[in-house]
Amino acid sequence: MPSPEPSGVKNKPIFRLDKVSKQWSGGNGFALTVPALTIGQGEKVALVGFSGCGKSTLLDLLAMVLRPDSATEFAFIASQDEPLDVIKAWGRKDLNALACARMLHMGYVLQTGGLFPFLSVRDNIGLTRQGLGLPVKDAVETVAKRLDIDRHLEKLPGQLSVGERQRVAIARAMAHEPSVVIADEPTASLDPINAEEIMGMFTSLVDEYHVTLIVATHDWRRVDERGFRRVEFQLKQDATDGIVRATVCG
Amino acid sequence: MRLNRGEHKHGLETVIRLSLKDYFHERLLSACAVLGLAAVLAPLLLLFGVKSGIINTMADRLIEDPRNREITPVGSGRYGEEWFSAAAKRPDVAFVIPQTRSIAANMVLYNGEGERPHSVVVDLIPTGENDPLLEKWGHIPKNETSVALSNTAARKLNVTIGQEVIGRVGRSVAGIKEQVAIKLKVVAVLPIEAYPREAAFVRLRLLEATEDYRDGRGSEAFGWPGQARPTGPREYPSFRLYARSIYDVTELRDTFFEQGLEVYAKVEEIEVVQSLDRSFTLIFQLIAIVAVFGYFASMASNVLASVNRKSRHLGVTRLIGFSTGNIVWFPIVQALATSILGTVTAICFYLIVEVLINHLFSQYLSAGEYVCRLSLGHLTVALGFTVTMSMMASAYAAFRVAKIEPSEVIRDV
C-alpha cells in the first residue's frame, strides 16, 4: 500500500482532527476512529475504500451533520475566518453555528438526488447564494457554462439525465464559492465515460476556484493521476463484541 | 462564524420561496388539501350563516318585537303623575304613557272624500316620543292633530298617509246630544301585525280632552265647550308600558306584582324564545367544536405526512446550511397557504349557497331579513381563525422538521 503524503501539510489547514471517534452499537455495530487527520486548504483528498468502510461516516463528520462521540480536536478553519471548534459547537448543541458554517463555506454533492425536484436547475444552483443574499444570476450562469449545463437552466431536474443532474449538484455545491466541497461518490451512479468526463470537469473546476475537495470513492485507479491525496481505512472486526472497527489512515 | 440579521432574513426568504414552489409543484396534492379544508369549512360557514341569519331574524322578530316587551295592566287602577315619572325613570322601562278611561277613549272617524263617505269607531291609544310600537312600524304623531291609524281603521276609512279625516266626539248633557269635531292628519298606517283592531294612535292631550268632553267639561286648547275641569293632579286608570328589552320583562312584572299591581306580560313566550336561543347556540357550539377538531386533525395529519414524505429534501436543506429557525417555516408556510386558499374556496362555496338559500326563502322574509347571512367581519374572523388553527396544527410538523438529522435522510435507501 503506498504511503500517503507526508504528514506536514504545505498549506494552511482547513480541517484538523485528532482522535475523533464515532460508534454505532448493536448487532452489526460499527466504530470509526480518526487518529489524526489534517486537510490543507486547496487540497484534493480522496477517501478510498469499499462500501461500508466508513467513508460516508467520515464525510458526515467533516460536513458537521453527524455528531462525533469524542474528539481531542476537531477544528474547521475556513479561509479568512476564526477556526470553528466543531466539537464544542456540538457540545452546546449549537446546530445553527454549524449550519451557518456549512452555508458560508461548504458545498456537498450527494451520490444521487439532493436536488429539489420543484426548483428549476437555475434555482437549484443558486439556492445557497440566495440563502446568503448573494447576487445569483451571473455566478449561476458562469458555473453552469463550465459544467456544460447552461442550456438546461430553465428545466426541472426531472427532465435531465442522471449525469446532467450530477453536474447540477456539483454546480450547486460550487456556486457560492465555498472553501471546501464534500462529495460522496459523485459519479458512482454514472457510466464510466460520463463518470470520467464529469470527474474531470469537477477537478479542474475545483483547481480553478482553489477549493478544497474531499471525495469519497471506490474508484481507485484515477485518484492518483488527478493529484488526489489518498485517505484509506483499515477495517478490523472485534472478536469479542463483533463490532467492526475502522481506522482512518492518511 | 454567525450570519448577521440581514443574512438570516435571506435564509428565511429562501425557505419561504422553496416552500411555496414545492406547494405549487405538488399542486394536485395541494389542491386536495385545499378542497379537504373547504369541505370541512363550507358546511360550517353555512351552519353559522343560517344561525346568524335565521336565529337573528327570529330573535329580531321575537325578542325585539315591542309586542313581546309590552306590560299591560289588568283591570283599572289609579296612577298619578308621580307614579308615571317614577316608572319613566326606571332604566328597564323603554316607554310609558298614561291611558285614559277605556270607555271614553274612542272616537268616530269620518272620511268625507270620495264617492261615498266612510266612518269607523276607533279606540284611541295614547302615544308619544319613543313609542316602540310606532317606531318599529310607523311614525309617531308630532302634534295633537296628527294620527297614526291601524291597518283595519285605515282600510275601513279608505284613507292613506297624508289624507285628512274628521274625528267626532259626542256626549249627552242633560238629555241633549252634543258633538265636537277635529280634523286629523293621517301620518302613518300601521301594518296588521302591529295592531289588529280599529285604532287611532294620538297624542295624550287629545285623549284627555276627549275624556273631559265626555265628562261634560270643555277644552280650551281644542276650543271645545263645557265646564272648567277641577284643578289638581290628574289620575289615570291605566297605562301603556314597554320594557327596555325582553330580558327586563320578567323582573319588571315581578316589581309591579310587589307594588300590588296586576299586570300581564308574555313571560312564558319570552322564556320559550330565550331557551330556544340558548339551545340553538349550544347546538351550534357543539357542532363547531367537532368540526374544529376534525379540521385540526386533518390539517395536522396532512402537514405531518407531507413533512415525512419530504424528509430527504428537508435534510438536504439542512445540509446546505439553512438554520433550524428558517427551515421550520417550510411546513408552516404550506399550512398557511392551504388555510388561506381553503378558506377562500369555502367562502366562495358558501356565498353561492347563501344566495341560493335566501332566494328560495325570499317569500317568507321581509326586507333586511335573511335566512342565511354572514357579515364581512364574520368571514374575516373565519379566515383569521383557520390561519391560526393551521399554524397550531403545523407546530408538531415544524418540530419534526427541526429534529431531522441530515445524515439519516440524505442518502437513498
DSSP codes, A84-129: EEHHHHHHTT-HHHHHHHHHHHEEEE-SS--S-TTS-HHHHHHHHH
Q: Could you read off the pLDDT of A179-193 as tens digits, one per residue? A: 999 999 888 888 888
Longest dimension (CA), chain A: 58
Q: Are B168 and B223 in contact (CB under 8 A)?
A: no
Taking 70 as the threshold, does the pLDDT of residue A5 lie above it?
Answer: no
Q: Are B375 and B282 in contact (CB under 8 A)?
A: no
Is the CB of residue B1 less than 8 Å away from at least one CB of chain A?
yes
What's the confidence (pLDDT) of residue A1? 38
CB contact under 8 Å between B313 and A116, yes or no, is yes
Mean pLDDT of chain B: 88
3-state secondary structure of B230: coil
Q: How far is B29 from chain A (nearest CA, A)?
A: 13
pLDDT-derived band at A12 (thresholds 50, 70, 90) equals confident
Q: In chain B, what residues touch A77 (CB-CB under 8 Å)?
A: none
Taking 70 as the threshold, does the pLDDT of residue B349 lie above it?
Answer: yes
Q: What residues contact residue B248 under an 8 Å CB cut-off, 6+ apart?
A: B69, B92, B93
What's the confidence (pLDDT) of residue A28? 72
Segment B238-251 shows an average pLDDT of 89
Segment A19-43 shows an average pLDDT of 86
Is the CB of residue A189 less than 8 Å away from at least one CB of chain B?
no
Q: How far is A177 from chain B (nearest CA, A)?
A: 13
User: Pick from A54, A36, A35, A67: which is nearest to A236 by CA?
Assistant: A54
Least confident segment among A75-84, A115-124, B24-33: A75-84
ipTM of this model?
Answer: 0.89
Taking 60 as the threshold, does the pLDDT of residue A30 lie above it?
Answer: yes
CB contact under 8 Å between A111 and B412, yes or no, is yes
Q: Nearest-CA residue of chain B relative to A114?
A: B316
Segment B386-395 shows an average pLDDT of 91
What's the confidence (pLDDT) of residue A52? 79
Q: Nearest-CA residue of chain B relative to A189?
A: B412
Is the CB of residue B6 less than 8 Å away from at least one CB of chain A?
yes
pTM for the model: 0.73
What's the confidence (pLDDT) of residue B169? 92
More confident site: A80 or B151: B151
Helix ranges, A133-183 (H): 137-146, 162-175
Q: Nearest-CA residue of chain A relative to B7?
A: A132
pLDDT-derived band at B113 (thresholds 50, 70, 90) equals confident
Q: How many CA atoms lie within 13 A of B183 on its CB side?
A: 5
